[in-house]
């Protein structure tokens, strides 16, 4: 055994490995929470986008006593759309949701339906939802359908 004066001071390999494992566990937990909060933020953005277009369609209805005829969501947010030309929705809205999937939507003279497919990675927490006139937002779970009246709470509670 070496005398105390000649022993080098520092951490042993085992102590370093334990510290690295603790850091790895904490980083993994933090990354999972980051992913969940990021998915929640994208979900809220998708809800907001559909609310803006739904409000634009409702304003168009109030002005013209009918909804415009659109076969797709992309046509609604196109720069040549009457919704954009009449400044009822903002210019440059994306036809894709924050999850990278296309929004779905159509409108006729008396009705419209806007749909987001939700998060494909967390479908039970951030599932599909639709917007229709007078009903606000309907969140479609695989288990049940819930009307939220336009609130922005995720289907699974977002916890």
Sorted by where each begins, the domain ranges of the chain are 15-147
- pTM of the full structure: 0.72
Coil/strand/helix, residue 138: strand
Helix (H, G, I), strand (E, B) or coil at 50: helix
Q: Please, which pLDDT band fits residue 153 given cuts at 50, 70 and 90?
A: very low
Convert the pLDDT of each residue in 81-134 to its tens digit: 999 999 999 999 999 999 999 999 999 999 999 999 999 988 999 999 999 998
Residue 10 pLDDT class (50, 70, 90 cuts): confident
- 3 state DSSP class of 25: helix
Instruction: Specify whether the CB–CB gap between 137 and 148 falls below 8 A.
Output: yes
Please name the residues in contact with 130: beta carbons below 8 A apart, sequence gap of 6 or more: 113, 114, 115, 116, 137, 138, 140
- Lowest-pLDDT range, 8-17, 66-75, 82-91, 119-128? 8-17
pLDDT digits (tens, 9 = 90+) for 132-152: 998 766 666 544 444 444 444
């Amino acid at each position: 055994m070496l005398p105390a004066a000649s022993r080098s001071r520092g951490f042993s390999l085992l102590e370093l490995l334990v510290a690295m494992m603790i850091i790895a566990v904490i980083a993994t937990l933090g990354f999972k929470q980051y992913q969940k909060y990021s998915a929640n933020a994208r979900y809220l953005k998708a809800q907001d986008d559909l609310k803006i277009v739904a409000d634009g369609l409702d304003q168009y209805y109030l002005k013209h006593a009918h909804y415009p005829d659109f076969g797709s969501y992309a046509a609604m947010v196109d720069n040549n759309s009457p919704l954009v030309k009449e400044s009822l929705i903002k210019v440059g809205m994306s036809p894709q949701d924050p999850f990278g999937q296309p929004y779905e939507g159509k409108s006729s003279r008396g009705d419209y339906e806007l749909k987001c497919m939700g998060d494909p990675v967390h479908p039970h927490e951030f599932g599909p939802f639709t917007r229709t006139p007078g009903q606000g937002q309907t969140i479609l779970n695989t288990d049940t359908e819930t009307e939220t009246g336009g609130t922005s709470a995720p289907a699974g509670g977002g916890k």
